[in-house]
Amino acid sequence: MSARVLRLTLHGKTGPAAASVRVDRLVIAGWTGRDKAAVEKHIEELAVLGVKRPPTTPVFYRASAARLTLDDEIEVLGATSSGEVEFVLLQHGGRLWVGTGSDHTDRQVEAYDVSVSKQMCDKPIAADFWAYDDVAPHWDKLTLRAHITEKAGRSLYQEGSVAAMLDPRELIAQFTDNAGLAEGTLMFCGTLAAHGAVRASEVFECELDDPVVGRKIGHRYRIRTLPLL
């Protein structure tokens, strides 16, 4: 089994604690919107572009845990990939933790096989995680936000409430048939619409904002494009 050991900072009631966390399974949940009519409309829009209809909604893709990274730079083939901000769930030490990351995806590959596209690029995540129980009482007030830097400069790329996606407990229940996430599982949980076209960038920044407590966690990474021969 391919696993990744990540050096994370876990924020609980007793404060931050550094931890070496082994991730054995990487799950990427797609089509996780709470508004089923909006999800169906988006499926139809993408079908016009050649993206196949998912077998179920939500759908749970699998990717190698080795694709997870805390690095501030990733390498991709060609210029057709882009990031997308998501909240991520982590089962570790018998507890559920929440953080943020980018489901960086090759869009050209996505048009012919979504599962393959999920394996094409590294998946950057922030090193900080909050105990889910600490944010669960005000979960829907959390905000996801992404900025990109391209030739025109830095701009807001995505922003919205986590309430646009299924609640974490419901998402986990659908994935595990109410069994709960297995230890060592990390799950990406869906994203928001982009401001303007979905597009590549030189730099991608993602963050999860908790306005109730007044704290944020985030990650910034540069995209290095390798020649596609």
Going from N- to C-terminal start, the domains of the chain cover 4-226
53-104 residue pLDDT tens? 888 899 999 999 999 999 999 999 999 999 999 999 999 999 999 999 999 9
| pLDDT above 80 (res 35) | yes
Q: Provide the β-strand partners of residue 57.
A: none
Give the tens place of pLDDT for each residue, 109-154. 988 888 999 999 999 999 999 999 999 999 999 999 999 999 999 9
Whole-angstrom Cα distance, residue 86 to residue 83?
10
Architecture of domain 4-226: Alpha-Beta Complex (3.90)
Q: Give me the pLDDT at residue 1, please.
A: 57
Residue range 162-199, pLDDT digits in tens: 999 999 999 999 999 999 999 999 999 999 888 988 89
**What average pLDDT does range 32-38 have in this prediction?**
88
Question: What number of helices (H) and strands (E) belong to the chain?
Answer: 5, 17
Who contacts 27 (Cβ-Cβ below 8 Å, separation ≥6)? 60, 61, 62, 63, 175, 185, 186, 187, 188
